[in-house]
Structure 1
Amino acid sequence: MKPTVTLTEAVQRSLSQNPSLKVFPYRYAALTGQAEIAQLRPAYELSFEAENIAGTGNFSGVDSGELTIALSSVIEMGDKREARQGVVSYSRSVLDAKLQVASLALLGEVTRRYVEVLAAQEQLALAGEASDLAGESLRIVTKRAAAGATPEAEVRRAQAAAEQAKLALLAQQQRFIYMKVALAALWGSTTPDFDKVEGNLFEFGEDVAFDSLFAKVEKNPVIEIFAAESRLKDAELRLAQTQSRADIRWSLGVRQMQETDDTALVAGFSMPLFSGQRNSGAVTTALAEKNQVFAQREVMLLDLHTQLFRAFHNRKQAIVTVKALGSTIIPALEQALTETQAAYQRGRYGYLDYVSARQELLNARNTQIEAAAAALTFGAEIEQLTAESLASGRGQNNDQQTESSLR
């Protein structure tokens, strides 16, 4: 088992082994088959026809028969073959964009679960500190009770608090194990092969203005899907328009007259009438579907703007919370706990004052961990929405982008 795993390793393993991405090679194979079909020209047909045979009178038997062997096919009008190939080609572009979206979504999920494991590590360490503090409190209370300075009831309360801290530590250990299992599942593993993850929970990367971030949203593969689908709908519209051009069916053959033992060439052609009118509905449908893509793109941009706005401001608030806790609140609570413990040992404060000071410090540290995890999670969401790292100035690619926040 590896002692640690990095975010880069987690991303690489997930992108190469995640089951949700394994369907795409089959989709590409299906498009390859469609491309082979689309480039085929109309097939040739060989036909045999017999007339005036097996009748009555002069037409009994085959002596008066007329036998025809003919070769026939279709001449496609309106560049139908090129239009079919265009549809398949642009379908591949749509699939490329969908693969990028799926990969980016997976990248975001890997980062979120990685942050959850990183936060669980910090909370596990904090639970260990809480258990140690509870044990230290029990020692102090027991010593004071032995000196007759505090009632036995406080010893019982301290014992209960120490046992509850142990239970909380055990629960946090189980949560940490679950978070590791959830992360490993992204690369198709049911059992984590690492002990912990690397990273700094309290490093958040660079701040970027909201307008600059939203300007990058249009490069998101989600929006690129609409561009690819628009091109696909154009190709489908062209294909529908080519169907308005009637194809010409031709045939050429030889006819044998049994009665005179003569032969003659036979030729013919046919084409449907009013095919343009009959196909107008398909053209109207294709045009409507093309225009629908533009409307859907505008809706998606509005939705992405809302998501980005929420993630941007929540990240900013979380960072402010982490910094305030680390620079002012937690140092003050640490000092208060030290002074309260000393005063309690001298008999100036009661047990409740001592326990409250200890719990306030633990709560503040836990809040700082949760806020830091939220800041990194919202940062990962911003990177997923913009398809670019918050540290894009260093030119990282998509597979490496999200690691910048945790280094």
Structure 2
Amino acid sequence: MFGEPGDAQQKRPKQSWLLCSAVVLVWLVTSSAHAQTDDQLSLGEAISHAIARNPDLPIFDLRIRALDGRRMTASQLPAYELGLETEGIAGSGDQGVDTAEYTLSLSSILEMGGKRQARIGIVDAEYDLVEAERRADILDLLGRVTQTFISTLAIQEKIRVAAEAVDIAETAYETVKRRAQQGAAPEADVLRAKAALAEARIELANLTTNYQVQKANLAANWGEMSANYSRLHGDLFRFEATASFDNLFERIANNPNIEVFANEQRVREAEVQLAESLADSDIRWAIGARRPEATNDFAVVASASIPLFSGKRNRGQLRSALAAQEEVLYRKDNALLRLRARLFEAYQTRQQYLEAFRAMNKQIIPDLTEALRLTREGYERGRYSYLEWNAAQADLLSARHSLIETASSILLNQALIEQLTGQPLEAQ
């Protein structure tokens, strides 16, 4: 499956980039294709920055380099040993250097049962595991970037609404003040309108501050201390159609977190193979030459030895490896159950918010907009009080904020569905 360790490094990054391009939210990437200015940031650009410069991702390159070293070690044959043995160099009688015997030998181990290939197999499986973990981390990073982007885009939309609210409050204040000067409104209404204008400006200032914080949080995903853009480019009110829940659940197998279990399972299988290979006893051999000093003759010597009962002594390690292999299956099944529960919650929540959004957008917002128009006209004619006019303004503003929150919730759950399935909704 693998050649030299360098081959593995060259093949891996391509898989990660394919995953990245597959899970980008279609609704924002499409919108980012339109003309932009240099100070705007799209979701596609945010994701590209995060993948290219996120400080956590280089760790996987270091892990691959470590595996390269382990593979080099695992592929080595048993070491050769050079030995020198001396007999009769000292003792009683005529023992001494002139009567000693010297044996020079070369020895090593002949591995049996495919131990070398089993060691290499573990490292090769760990290459796949590290890459699966890399893809899972990239998917989590995409989820964080997308969620932060959506939340920041929602604040950006709220700022627009809040700025309009300030304009409305300024107009209302001027209108009430003019009517008070004409004797058609009490001075208390002027104070209420002035206070409402101050509250609208405070809300706008709070949102602006929160917006700057969120932009910095987004930029932190690619290692920047502050945002070098002024606005986000995207459509908060564009949603993709979704397939049925059963169809979405079938695609959970594409989630890189599930691939991690599949690759971990292969690592455990390789460990079982290594444990089984250890049951075959290795043969220690030696060959050399013996030279008695007394006669100056040479003799070839050879030896071989094999440990007994290796299979029995290895049962504990084999049992441990088999248990670890079975454990992965249980953890994978448990992970699938948790993913299904999260997918079901995200799917149902998104459907609920979609219905709420349609009702707000088609009925509630238009009705409240018309009610505000009629109330304002009625106030200027003396039919409604300022409190009624102000209440109509507050109702419409609250509804527009709820519309933004609802749209944000739809997109956040859409992003979660795409993260869980590993595919954009449009592709499903």
Residue 302 (structure 1) aligns with: 337
SS in 2 for 1:239: helix
- CA–CA distance in structure 2, aligned partners of residues 197 and 320 of structure 1: 27
CA distance in 1 between partners of 2:322 and 2:272 (Å): 6
Match of residue 46 from structure 2: 10
Residues 365-376 of structure 1 aligned to structure 2 (within 5 Å): 365-376=400-411
Structure 1 letter corresponding to 2:242? D
| Contact preservation (8 Å) 1:124, 1:172 | yes
Task: State the one-letter code of the partner of 2:88.
Answer: N
Distance 1:139 1:214 in 2: 57
The answer to whether the 8 A contact 1:17-1:188 is kept is: yes
Equivalent residue runs for 1:241-260 within 5 Å: 241-260=276-295
For residue 32 of structure 1, the aligned residue among 68, 79, 85 is 68
The answer as to whether partners of 1:337 and 1:354 remain within 8 angstroms in 2 is yes
Q: What letter matches 2:329 in structure 1?
A: F
> How many Å apart are 1:54 and its aligned residue?
3.8
* Correspondence for 1:23: 59
Equivalent residue number for residue 191 of structure 2:
156
Where in structure 2 are the equivalents of 1:209-288 lying within 5 Å? Answer: 209-288=244-323
1:387 partnered with 2:393: no
Q: What stretches of structure 1 of length at least 5 have no aligned partner?
A: 394-407
CA distance in structure 1 between the partners assigned to 2:92 and 2:157 by the alignment: 101
> 1:77–1:248: 8 Å Cα contact kept in structure 2?
yes
Deviation by residue 1:19-56 (Cα, 9 ceiling, x = unmatched): 11111111111111111111111111101122222444
Please give the secondary structure, in 2, of the residue aligned with 1:58: coil
Contact persistence 1:18–1:187 (CA under 8 A): yes
SS in structure 2 at match of 1:262: coil
Give the counterpart letter for 1:132 in structure 2: D
Deviates more, 1:136-145 or 1:358-367: 136-145
Q: Distance in 2 between matches of 1:79 and 1:336?
A: 83
| Displacement of 1:115 | 0.8
Q: CA deviation at 1:18?
A: 0.7
Q: Which runs of no fewer than 5 residues in structure 2 stay unpaired?
A: 1-36
Q: How many residues align?
A: 392
Among 93, 96, 119, the residue aligned to 1:84 = 119
Structure 2 match to 1:113: 148
The corresponding residue for 1:176 is: 211
Distance in 1 between residues matched to 2:137 and 2:38, nearest whole Å: 28
Distance 1:51 1:126 in 2: 98
Cα drift, residue 117 of structure 1: 1.7
In structure 2, distance between residues paired with 1:107 and 1:63: 79
Instruction: Give the deviation of 1:278 after TM superposition.
Output: 0.6
Give the letter aligned to residue 175 of structure 1: N
Equivalent in 235, 252, 255 of residue 200 of structure 1: 235
1:353-407 Cα shifts (integer Å, max 9, x gaps)? 11111000000000000110110110000000000110106xxxxxxxxxxxxxx
Q: Does residue 96 in structure 1 map to residue 131 in structure 2?
A: yes
Counterpart secondary structure, 1:252 = strand
CA–CA distance in structure 2, aligned partners of residues 205 and 142 of structure 1: 47
> 1:137 deviation in Å?
1.4
Deviations 1:257-278 (A, max 9, x none): 1122222122111111111111
Question: Aligned AA for 1:16?
Answer: A
Mean alpha-carbon deviation: is it higher for 337-346 or for 354-363?
A: 337-346
User: Aligned residue for 1:132?
Assistant: 167
Q: Distance in 2 between matches of 1:332 and 1:19?
A: 49
Percent identical residues? 41
- Alpha-carbon distance, 1:308 to partner: 0.2
Query: For the residues of structure 1 that align with 2:58 and 2:168, how far apart are their CA atoms?
Result: 49
Structure 1 residue runs of 4 or more that deviate by more than 6 Å after TM superposition: none
**Paired position in structure 1 for 2:84:** 48
Structure 2 counterpart of 1:45, one-letter code: E
Deviations 1:42-99 (A, max 9, x none): 111101122222444422x412211111000000000101111111111111112111
Q: Deviations over 1:190-224 (max 9, x none)?
A: 12111111111111111211110000001211111
- In the alignment, residue 273 of structure 1 is paired with which amino acid? L
> TM-score scaled to structure 1, two decimals?
0.94
CA deviations on 1:118-171 (whole Å, 9 max, x unpaired) are 111100101111111111111111111111122212211211111111111111
What SS does structure 2 have at the residue aligned with 1:268? strand
SS in structure 2 at match of 1:20: coil
- The answer (yes or no) to whether the contact 1:2–1:195 under 8 Å persists in 2 is no
2:214, 2:165 → 1: CA distance?
21
- For the Cα contact (< 8 Å) 1:42–1:73, is it kept in 2? yes
Aligned equivalents of 2:98, 2:418: Cα separation in 1: 84
Q: Secondary structure of 2:49's partner?
A: helix
Q: What SS does the aligned partner of 2:79 have?
A: coil
The Cα offsets for residues 323-348 of structure 1, whole Å up to 9 and x where unpaired, read as 11111001100111111111112222
Cα distance in 2 between the residues matched to 1:214 and 1:143 = 62
Equivalent residue of 2:412, what SS? helix
C-alpha distance in 1 between matches for 2:406 and 2:59: 37
Aligned residue type for 1:271: I
TM-score, structure 2 normalization: 0.89
**Cα deviations by residue, 1:300-320 (Å, 9 ceiling, x for unpaired):** 111011000010011111111
CA distance in 2, matches of 1:17, 1:367: 35
